[in-house]
Amino acid sequence: MDKFSVFSSRLVEKSENFTSGHRACQGCAEALAVRHVMKALGRDTIVAMSTGCMEIISSPLPLTSWRVPWIHNAFENSAAVISGCESGIKAMMRKGKIPAKKINFVAMGGDGATADIGMGALSGALERGHNMVYVCYDNEAYMNTGIQRSSSTPYGASTTTSPAGKMSIGQRTQKKNMAQIAVAHNIPYVATACSSFPFDLMEKVKRAAETPGAAYVHVLSVCPTGWRIPTQDAIKYGRLAVDSCVFPLYEVIDGKYKLSYKPYKKLALTEYLKGQGRFRHLTDKEIELIQQRVDKDYERILRLSKEEE
Amino acid sequence: MAKPMEKITWQELEAGSVVTEIGNARVYETGSWRSERPVVEASQCIKCGVCWLFCPDSCIVKAADGHFEADLTYCKGCGICAKECPVGCITMIAEEE
Amino acid sequence: MARQRKGIEVSIAMADAVAQADVDVIAAYPITPQTHIVEHLSEIVANGELDAEYVPVESEHSAMSVCCGSSAVGARTFTSTSSQGLALMAEIFFIAASMRLPMVMALANRSLSGPLSIWNDHTDTMMVRDAGWIHIFVENGQESYDNVFCGFRISEDPTVMLPLAVNLDGFILTHMIEPVIYEDNETIRKYLPEMRMKNALHPDNPVSMGCFAMPEIYTEAQMSREQGLLNAYPAIVKAWKEWGDLTGRYYQPIETYRTEDAEYCIVTMGSYGETAMEVVDALREEGEKVGVVKIRLWRPFPFEDFRSAVEGKKSLIVIDRAISFGGPGGPVALELRSALYGRPNAPAIVNYVAGLAGRDVARSDFRKIILEGKAKASKGETEGFTLYGLRG
């Protein structure tokens, strides 16, 4: 039995550092991912969060869903803000101004904050090697402002700024691969995860926090509102993304790839696409082309992990 | 408990509008959003906690006898618990019923 | 370090002051003419003379963001920038003030692009006039050095908790070698206690910072911010007074030179004050009843100090170092006009915009501006502004 087939809820941290009363949409798997991440990190954590869904839904003044020290500053700078928190605490501990203590420094942002507007700040923080974890909650569009496309929106998805139409397939560009960009920074830990696989997610976040230096965790976060799926299916679609190998789960530890989970039977892409309103317009031929791309990307990860299909 | 935002005077705000009462969002009862609610058939519940694990609103609580049920104060009625329950002991029923 | 008088570049003196202030975090990105300050600081850190984290960020936007993070955890924080760098960090510059995050910035004033220019004027700082920072303008190396300490003292004062910019003219000050008295570390320690931040981010005392505000509460948040800046005024005056008591060098929000019996005054902000004083001395020899009014504290603007400094004067000749395009004059003149508007017997204001992007304004130019300005005032020509030295 591995972590993907066993139910062991009893072993999971009970305390909630991200409390009820947050205003995420019904069935928000991104809020669920935040919940899981916070369970993994525990109380000795400082969080810097980018502007976006998770920030808005958790901090309408004078209320907060956070039970750990939390700071929101702007959209594109959570990686830089956490760099400052880490540097400040490090200097003050070294100088004896505050007692020494292990603190997790964690920046969080959506895919827009990470892959688009905040990529410079993230790249700078990874390059400088602060002792931090950056968690990207990727729901594959600017959901907070109303489902506009980002560079992390997959090819063919219809969004409010990449609408499908007579002259458009929807998103015309391929999804930017942020995990691979993080790997290119030669940081000691990179992982992909999904809240549909909570034990894997929590384990990776713990490992990221324990790794000295900069770590990056990319979390696929199903968004029923933006993906146009029924709210109860949020977990299912995360599972389908992984089982169809659209979103493989893997780690890159000190440059070495390790596949976290290999589906028993790789599902056809259509299993994942069908039922999602954002892909409803795609023709069989178009899906076939996307399937080829998925296969190619997955084979690459397999090759890097020295696994055989 | 935090005052409603429309009652707070500027003098009552901390410098920088820092919120010092952590987790006080619990005063906001998201259960009012709900159109369907989960009903657990306790006799069938195997107490695995999958519903608890997958709830985005952390609103699943353990009853005295060990089975899980939704705290309707916060439950938004997304239906994930009903969908994910491995034994199918949770059903979503419309609020007006 | 013992008390000593040094002939030194102003940027280096400022960096040395930052080290003496025992900062914890410095985050900066290179931009002319601020570079000597941060270069010297990184050297001091590299040599182990200052125990601090020097964060070499990838942009000014991140420099200000790192400063927000380090200030939020209660670390003493310094940065420095100019011009385009300030423009790039402008977004976070405003947020730093709204979150009440203490830090000191050496703002080496430089013109804003375009056209691109690296030379000095005040267009960069005027862009962030309304951000809610405390803005101090200095005239020489000694003032630059002193106001690093005063700056931290004011910024970190528990009744203030606001970021503070020490504005110094790029090149004219930053690259000038001047005599500067360095105070000994004992004096600095006495003057500048460790920062104690009530709501610093730490797991032992979790708080949420930077929550978003609905319309129902945004107004209250802004008033809290405004009041914070107004509260800074007494703290600033006190900090300067105590610095003066320790060192013999006193600073005032509005400073005057030979104004007691002056009928009219030239008003300056920044390094022009020094030249203005020399020219006024010469004009006094010729019997002109002229004085100098120098604005040291730009935000919060010291309305009462200013009004009493110019009471009974016939006219003020205001030199601005920036244009408010499409507006009625330079930003300083605008401020002064509104400070005096509707007051009986208020002095007439004649506005010159001069020295844009480092164009030299020599003593002879000051003389011309003063005499021409006086004549304009007497003829009632007080509308708008004159772009001094403009060809065509």
Q: Is the pLDDT of residue C381 over 50?
A: yes
Residue C102 pLDDT: 98
Residue B90 pLDDT: 97
pLDDT band at B1 (very low <50, low <70, confident <90, very high): low
Q: Which of A102, A46, A71 lies closest to C203 in space, CA to CA?
A: A46
Digit-coded pLDDT (tens) for A239-251: 999 999 999 999 9
Decide if C44 contacts C78 (C-beta within 8 A). Answer: no
Q: Hunting for tokens 């958790």 — which residue is that?
A: A58
Tell me the mean pLDDT in the region B13-31: 96
Number of Cβ atoms within 10 Å of the Cβ of A88: 30
Alpha-carbon distance of C70 to A94, in angstroms, equals 14
Among C98, C208, C227, most B C-beta atoms within 10 A, so best to mutate, is C208
Give the three-state DSSP class for C236.
Answer: helix
Tell me the mean pLDDT in the region C321-348: 95
Digit-coded pLDDT (tens) for A60-89: 999 999 999 999 999 999 999 999 999 999
* Continuous segment of H or E residues that includes residue C360: none
Dihedral sign of CA atoms C257, C260, C266, C268 in order: positive
Residues 284-343, chain C, touching A (beta carbon < 8 A): none
Q: Which of C355, C349, C339 lies closest to C276 in space, CA to CA?
A: C355
Q: Which residues in chain A have their CB less than 8 angstroms from residue C192's CB?
A: none
Q: Which residues in chain C have their CB less than 8 angstroms from residue B10's CB?
A: 219-221, 223-224, 227
Q: Is the pLDDT of residue A5 over 60?
A: no
Q: Is the pLDDT of residue A94 over 60?
A: yes
Tell me the mean pLDDT in the region A287-299: 97
Asked whether the beta carbons of residue C206 and residue A124 sit closer than 8 angstroms, the reply is no
pLDDT band at A6 (very low <50, low <70, confident <90, very high): low
Q: Which of A307, A303, A241, A304 lies closest to A276 in space, CA to CA?
A: A241
Residue B96 pLDDT: 82
Residue C328 pLDDT: 85
Label residue A253 exposed, middle or buried (CB < 10 Å: 0-12, 13-18, 19+): middle
Q: Which residues in chain B have their CB less than 8 angstroms from residue A198's CB?
A: 53-54
DSSP structural state of residue A299: H
Alpha-carbon distance of A213 to C160, in angstroms, equals 35
Alpha-carbon distance of C133 to C81, in angstroms, equals 15
Q: Is the pLDDT of residue B11 over 60?
A: yes
Digit-coded pLDDT (tens) for A35-69: 999 999 999 999 999 999 999 999 999 999 999 99
Sheet holding C315-320, edge to edge: C254-257, C290-295, C264-268, C315-320, C348-353, C386-387
Digit-coded pLDDT (tens) for A137-195: 999 999 999 999 999 999 999 999 999 999 999 999 999 999 999 999 999 999 999 99
Q: Which residues in chain C have their CB less than 8 angstroms from residue B11's CB?
A: 224
Digit-coded pLDDT (tens) for C132-181: 999 999 999 999 999 999 999 999 999 999 999 999 999 999 999 999 99
Can you give the CATH number for the domain in which B92 is found?
3.30.70.20
**Domain assignments of chain A as residue spans, ordered by start:** 11-304
CATH number, span A11-304: 3.40.50.970
In the chain, the amino acid numbered A118 is G
Phi, psi of C292 (to 5 degrees): -120, 135
Asked whether the beta carbons of residue A7 and residue B50 sit closer than 8 angstroms, the reply is yes
Decide if C97 contacts C163 (C-beta within 8 A). Answer: yes
Residues 28-57, chain A, touching C (beta carbon < 8 A): 43-46, 48, 55-56
Please check whether residue B72 lies inside any domain of the structure: yes
Enclosing domain of residue B38: 31-97
pLDDT band at A1 (very low <50, low <70, confident <90, very high): very low
- In Å, how far is C50's CA from the nearest CA of chain A? 11
Average pLDDT, chain B: 94
Strand C25-28 versus strand C53-56 pairing type: parallel
Please check whether residue B24 lies inside any domain of the structure: no
Q: Is the pLDDT of residue C65 over 50?
A: yes
Q: Which residues in chain A have their CB less than 8 angstroms from residue C59's CB?
A: 120-121, 124
Number of Cβ atoms within 10 Å of the Cβ of A95: 14
Dihedral sign of CA atoms C185, C186, C191, C194 in order: positive
Residue A306 pLDDT: 86
Which chains pack against A, by 3+ Cβ pairs within 8 A?
B, C
Q: Is the pLDDT of residue A8 over 90?
A: no
Tell me the mean pLDDT in the region B30-36: 96
Q: Is the pLDDT of residue A2 over 70?
A: no
- The structural domains of chain C, ordered by start, are 4-247 (3.40.50.970), 254-387 (3.40.50.920)
Q: Which residues in chain A have their CB less than 8 angstroms from residue C99's CB?
A: 73
Decide if C159 contacts C322 (C-beta within 8 A). Answer: no
Residue A4 pLDDT: 56
Task: Assign 3-state DSSP to chain C and report helix, strand, coil percentages, each to 5.
Answer: 40, 20, 40
* Continuous segment of H or E residues that includes residue C353: strand C348-353
Residue B2 pLDDT: 78
Digit-coded pLDDT (tens) for C16-50: 999 999 999 999 999 999 999 999 999 999 999 99
User: Looking at the complex, does the CB of residue C214 fall below 8 Å from at least one CB of chain B?
Assistant: yes
Asked whether the beta carbons of residue C65 and residue A92 sit closer than 8 angstroms, the reply is no
Q: Hunting for tokens 């010297």 — which residue is that?
A: C40
Asked whether the beta carbons of residue C211 and residue B17 sit closer than 8 angstroms, the reply is yes
Residue A308 pLDDT: 52
Q: Which residues in chain C have their CB less than 8 angstroms from residue A48's CB?
A: 69
> What is the number of domains present in chain B?
1
Average pLDDT, chain C: 97
Minimal-distance CA residue of chain C relative to A57: C212
Residues 15-34, chain B, touching C (beta carbon < 8 A): 15-20, 22
Q: Is the pLDDT of residue C348 over 90?
A: yes
Q: Which of A221, A218, A220 lies closest to A190 in space, CA to CA?
A: A218
